[in-house]
Homo-oligomer: A and B are copies of this chain.
Amino acid sequence: MSDAPLAVCLVSGGMDSAVTLAEARARGFQCVALVIDYGQRHRVELTAAERVAKAQGVADLRRVRVDLSAIGGSALTADLEVPKARSPESIGQGVPSTYVPARNTIFLAIALGWAEVLGARHLFLGANQVDYSGYPDCRPEFLRAFEALANKATAAGTEHGQRFHVEAPLLTMSKADIVRRAEQLNVDLGLTHTCYDPLVEGDRVLACGACDACLLRLKGFAEAGRTDPIPYQTRPA
C-alpha cells in the first residue's frame, strides 16, 4: 500500500456513493470500499456496488452482511409496498416507507470497526440531505454526533487521542450537481444502480423509472442536461 492516508468508503451501488468514493480519491486518500448487504430486496445493488468499487481501483473491498430484515420496518427490507410515481416535489416530505431505521448509524458503526482494524481515521458516506431531507441520518448534526461517538468508542480515540472524521462531500449537492461532478471525476454512472424495484432478466437490469429513487435520478440527469446511460422499463416524459 502507498503512504496516502486510508479512508473507509461506504459504497452502495448508487450514484451518490460512487461519486463520494471518487471525491475521496481526488482528495488523496487511499480508499477501501465497504459494501453492506443488509437484506435489501433489490439485490442487484450489491453487484453494482462491487462493480463501482473495482472500477475505481480500491485497495480493498469487503462485503459485510447484516440482516436488517430480521428487525423489519422498511419497504426496502420488509414486505411493504415501494411508493411509485409520486411527484418529485412530494418526495422528501416526512420520513418515507423506504427509510431503513438507523441505517446510516449501523453502516457507519461497521465502517468504524473496520477503520479501527486498518488504522484508518476517515469514513466517507454518500449521504445527501437535498433529495432525502426526510431521512434524519442524512443531516450534518447526525454526522457530527457520529464523529463524537467514534472518538469515545474506540481505542484510537480514547487511548491515542486520534480523531475520526466522517465525510459526506455530497451532503448539500443536488442530484444535477452530482451528475456534473461525476463527469468531472470520470465516474461511469452507467455502472451504478439506483432503482428500488428493478426488473432483472438474467444479467440485464431494467430500472422501473417510477419509484422515488428513479424519479430523483432522472430529474438530476435532466437538470444537468445529460442522458442517463442505464436502461429503464419506461422513462417518464
Q: How large is the interface on A (under 10, 10 to 19, 20 to 34, 35 or more residues)?
A: 35 or more
Give the distance to chain B from A205, nearest Cβ to Cβ, in Å.
Answer: 25
The answer to the question of A158 belonging to the interface, with a C-beta cut-off of 8 Å to chain B, is: yes
Number of copies: 2
The docked-state distance in angstroms from the alpha carbon of A108 to that of B103 is 12
- Provide the residues of chain B in CB contact with A73, threshold 8 Å: 113-114, 116-117
Main secondary structure on A side of the interface with B: helix
| Given A112-B102, A145-B153, A152-B141: A68 and B72 interface contact (C-beta under 8 Å) | no
Q: Choose among A65, A72, A153 the residue with the greatest number of B CB atoms under 10 Å from its CB.
A: A153
Give the distance to chain B from A211, nearest Cβ to Cβ, in Å.
Answer: 20
A interface residues (Cβ-Cβ under 8 A, vs B): 34, 62-68, 70-73, 95, 99-106, 108-110, 112-114, 116-117, 136-137, 139, 141-142, 145-146, 148-150, 152-155, 157-159
